[in-house]
Amino acid sequence: MTDTVERLSRYRELVDDWPAFIESCRRPLPTVVWANPLRQRALLSLGSSGASDLSAGPDLSAGSDLLTATSILAERLGALSYSSRPVDWYPGALRVFGIDKPGKTLEFYQGLYHVQEEISLVPALLLDAQPGERVLDLCAAPGGKTAQIACHMENTGTLVANDIRPNRLRALRSNCERLGLLNVAVTSNDGTRFPLEVGQFDRVLLDVPCSCEGNVRQSGRIPFEQAGGVRGRAGLQATLLGRAWKLLSPGGVLVYSTCTFAPEENELVLDYVLGEDATIEPVEIEGLRASAGVTEWSGNSLRPDCRNVARFWPHLNDTGGFAAARIRKTEEAR
Ligand X SMILES: C[S@@+](CC[C@H](N)C(=O)[O-])C[C@H]1O[C@@H](n2cnc3c(N)ncnc32)[C@H](O)[C@@H]1O
Q: Which residues are catalytic?
A: 259
* Closest distance of CB 241 from ligand X, Å: 11
- Tell me whether residue 260 or residue 295 sits nearer to ligand X (CB atom): 260
State how far the Cα of 137 lies from the Cα of 140, in Å rounded to an integer: 5
First to last CA, the chain: 48
How near is the Cβ of 159 to ligand X at its closest, in Å? 12
Closest of 170, 259, 172, 168 to residue 209, by C-alpha: 259
DSSP 112: S
Decide whether 37 or 144 has the Cβ nearer to ligand X: 144
Instruction: Give least dist CB 2 to ligand X, A.
Output: 27
Q: Is 24 exposed, middle or buried (0-12, 13-18, 19+ CB in 10 A)?
A: buried
Q: Which is nearer to ligand X, 22 or 122 (CB)?
A: 122
Residues 6 or more apart from 116 whose CB is under 8 A from it? 32, 33, 34, 144, 148
CA quadruple 6, 26, 21, 260: dihedral positive or negative?
positive
- Least Å distance, CB 5 to ligand X, is 24
Planar angle of CA 108, 155, 177, nearest 5 degrees: 40
CB of 76 to ligand X, least distance (A): 24
Reduced to 3 states, what is the DSSP secondary structure of residue 193? helix
**Contacting residues toward ligand X, per CB under 6 A:** 139-145, 163-165, 168, 190-192, 207, 209
Could you tell me the CA-to-CA distances from 272 to 132, 148, 223, 306 in Å, in that order?
33, 29, 26, 11
The residue (of 145 and 203) whose beta carbon lies closer to ligand X is 145
Alpha helices in the chain (DSSP H): 2-8, 18-26, 37-46, 49-52, 65-79, 106-109, 122-127, 144-152, 166-179, 216-219, 224-227, 229-246, 267-273, 314-317
Between 50 and 242, CB nearer to ligand X: 242
